[in-house]
Amino acid sequence: MNATLAAEIQRLTPAEKLQLVQDLWDDIAASSEALPIPQWHEEELNRRLDNEVEDQGRPWEQVRDDILGR
């Protein structure tokens, strides 16, 4: 990013900055170009998936009964 562009961004209001971020995000998401996933992201996703399988949770009926004090 060049200095002129950075200076222009600094002059934006917070609402304009948020809109710029949203516009940039939409542009990136619409791109057909695949973005690389860092190795640590993949490791964290796998860790979370492993934990999900190990902890199946509880049936809704049991949770509801606990909340209602049954």
pLDDT (tens digit, 9 = 90+) per residue, 12-59? 999 999 999 999 999 998 987 888 899 999 999 999 988 876 667 889
Query: What confidence category does residue 70 fall into, taking pLDDT thresholds of 50, 70 and 90?
Result: confident
* Residue type at position 11: R
Which H, E and C letters describe 50-63, residue by residue?
HHHHHCCCCCHHHH
As a whole number of angstroms, the distance between CA 70 and CA 62 comes to 9
Specify the pLDDT at position 57.
82
As a whole number of angstroms, the distance between CA 43 and CA 52 comes to 14
Least confident range of 7-11, 25-29, 33-37, 62-66:
33-37
As a whole number of angstroms, the distance between CA 41 and CA 49 comes to 12
